[in-house]
Amino acid sequence: MSSWTAAIALVLPWIAGAAWLRSLWPEPPPGRWPVILGYGYLLGWVGVTLLLRLFDLFGLPLAPVPIMVILVLLTALAIHRISRQPRNVAAIDRRPESPAFPIWQSVLTGAILLWLSLRFMGLALEVWWQPLFPWDAWTTWTLRARVWADLSELAPFISPGAWLIDTTGRAYTIEAWHYPPTVSLIAAWPVLAFGTWNETLANLPWAGCFLALGLGFFGQARRWGATPLTAMVFVWLLMSLPLLNTHIALAGYADLWLATALGFAFMSFLLWMRDQELREGVLVILLLLACTLMKVEGLAWATLFIAAWLAAKLRGLWLLGLLAVAASIGVALLMSGGGAFELPWIGQFALRPDYIELPHLGRFDLVHIEAWEPVIRHLFIYDNWHLLCYLVLPAIGWGAAHAIRRETDASFRAGLAWVAAGLLALYILFFWTEAGIWAIQATSTNRVLLHFVPGFVFWIMTVWLLILVRRDRTIPLIEKETFATNRSLRQPSEALQPMDSR
């Protein structure tokens, strides 16, 4: 193996993922290519980890060349699908032209893009130069990657108790032995292609994930109806956050990958609720599955979309009635000593006065912990998040007031419900469970919040655009683009029909 093999291994998942998304996205709405490149990177890397697990399932060594061949074949199949897509000249001619923007907007957009490019280069150099440093990478994510890369097989990681009585001599143990293997496999893949352990190669996918997050956010912002300048400003607000940048410079944690997958799922979910486009629904499902494959918390955060979906489908008294029924059931269970039930293939749910038990997540003892002081310090005083937390609260207040006073569409209700459910989940986690100790010790407060940050920033952008439209500002730019986007998204079948079939 060589550096060239490692370089190919780094770009092949991206190419394969982007090619397949492009094959499913024939029509050209604004922001299509940034979405394809951003989402394609994430889904491509998740796909590589699934191939590695499939090879291990069949008892095959984790040889990089056969997996690369499979990726090349998948890419070729996607390109073949693209080449067979009908080209309708009339539909292309009817494609709405992008509006002309003032020169100052183009200059400012370019300046922000230049700033972000320089920032990305600086972070990429940190990844290139910095030895493996983060604690969780040492103890869990990269440790497993090195074991699997050195052995070229997925040696099992088991509990310490099981390891003490293991007689095979092939098993390993760590404290977080039960964590999903996906992020460790992401770190292992380029090292497998290189042939020997290299910390820089193991960390390089994190730099790519940072780039993919910016591309996907910008593309979905454009598809939502934001002008290039507005989309770039909010990309800058997200990509300049100190905590997010730290997870690139000190690569090795799983939180960046979960934040990207969860954020992409939320963006696609809002577009799905607004445009009722099946493709976005498929992306939501794939990305939520990716969340569950990355961290244990991914499953919990994925369930928050149930609340968002209910808010999108219900309104008014129906929604309030559902909330009242759910609250009444919860109070009744707690007052009666709680209850438990088990679902086939899923696991046991339990709600007791002293603990909550959820399948695949474990048991959480309920105890009130006063964590306000450290939480306020980390979110509102320290430089971790710039002024993001000061933006989230008024955005929620304005959104709630807007939902009460006026008729709102499904996407707005879904976004508001998801953000509120996310904040409620964080409140329960840090103030009513043992995890409050994490907040007091400052070990997880910011890392857990990071999972929601891309989604929060995107939702703030949607609120900002709604405020601008309501105040009759930039309507010619925003409404025209939104109409163009919706038209190209809601009529894909018409654009693909042969001329003689009409």
For 286-346, what is the HEC assignment?
A: HHHHHHHHHCHHHHHHHHHHHHHHHHHHCCHHHHHHHHHHHHHHHHHHHHCCCEEEEECCC
Neighbours of 93 (CB within 10 A): 7
Tell me, yes or no, whether 421 lies in a domain. Answer: yes
**Burial of 380 by CB count in 10 Å (0-12 exposed, 13-18 middle, 19+ buried)?**
middle
Tell me, yes or no, whether 98 lies in a domain. Answer: no
Based on the domain organization, do 335 and 261 belong to the same domain? no
| Cα 442–Cα 447–Cα 451 angle in degrees, nearest 5 | 150
Based on the domain organization, do 204 and 341 belong to the same domain? no
Q: Is the confidence at residue 398, as pLDDT, over 90?
A: yes
Based on the domain organization, do 422 and 451 belong to the same domain? yes
Say what the pLDDT of residue 26 is: 82
Q: Which tokens go with 327?
A: 């609250």
Q: Is the confidence at residue 488, as pLDDT, over 90?
A: no
Based on the domain organization, do 283 and 379 belong to the same domain? no
Based on the domain organization, do 291 and 310 belong to the same domain? no
Q: Which tokens go with 33?
A: 């290519």
Based on the domain organization, do 193 and 232 belong to the same domain? yes
Question: Measuring CA to CA, how many Å separate 495 from each of 28, 93, 348, 459, 482?
Answer: 10, 10, 48, 30, 18
Tell me, yes or no, whether 252 lies in a domain. Answer: yes
Tell me, yes or no, whether 96 lies in a domain. Answer: no
Handedness of CA 345, 254, 205, 301 (dihedral sign): positive
Mean pLDDT of 23-49: 93
Please give the Cα distance from 75 to 73 (Å, whole number). 5
Q: Domain range spanning residue 447?
A: 305-494
Q: Minimum mean pLDDT among 89-103, 148-162, 200-214, 221-235: which range?
A: 89-103
Q: How confident is the model at residue 416 (pLDDT cuts 50, 70, 90)?
A: very high
Based on the domain organization, do 246 and 353 belong to the same domain? no
Q: Quick: pLDDT tens for 80-128.
A: 999 888 765 444 444 555 566 789 889 999 999 999 999 999 999 999 9
Please give the Cα distance from 335 to 467 (Å, whole number). 43
Q: How confident is the model at residue 480 (pLDDT cuts 50, 70, 90)?
A: very low
Q: How confident is the model at residue 492 (pLDDT cuts 50, 70, 90)?
A: very low
Based on the domain organization, do 32 and 133 belong to the same domain? yes
What's the start-to-end Cα distance of the chain, in Å? 55
Based on the domain organization, do 241 and 359 belong to the same domain? no
Tell me, yes or no, whether 500 lies in a domain. Answer: no
Q: Which tokens go with 396?
A: 């929620």
Tell me, yes or no, whether 95 lies in a domain. Answer: no
138 vs 17, residue with greater confidence: 17
Name the DSSP letter for residue 178: T
What is the pTM assigned to this prediction? 0.90
Say what the pLDDT of residue 456 is: 98
Overall number of domains in the chain: 2
Pick from 63-77, 99-113, 405-419 the range whose average pLDDT is largest.
63-77
Based on the domain organization, do 242 and 310 belong to the same domain? no
CA atoms within 13 A on the CB side of 327: 6
Q: Quick: pLDDT tens for 262-292.
A: 999 999 999 999 999 999 999 999 999 999 9
Q: How far is CA 178 from the centre of its chain?
A: 22
Based on the domain organization, do 341 and 360 belong to the same domain? yes
Pick from 204-208, 278-282, 439-443 the range whose average pLDDT is largest.
204-208
DSSP string over 36-55: HHHHHHHHHHHHHHHHHHHH
Q: How far is CA 425 from the centre of its chain?
A: 17
88 vs 33, residue with greater confidence: 33
Based on the domain organization, do 208 and 317 belong to the same domain? no
Tell me, yes or no, whether 280 lies in a domain. Answer: yes
Tell me, yes or no, whether 189 lies in a domain. Answer: yes
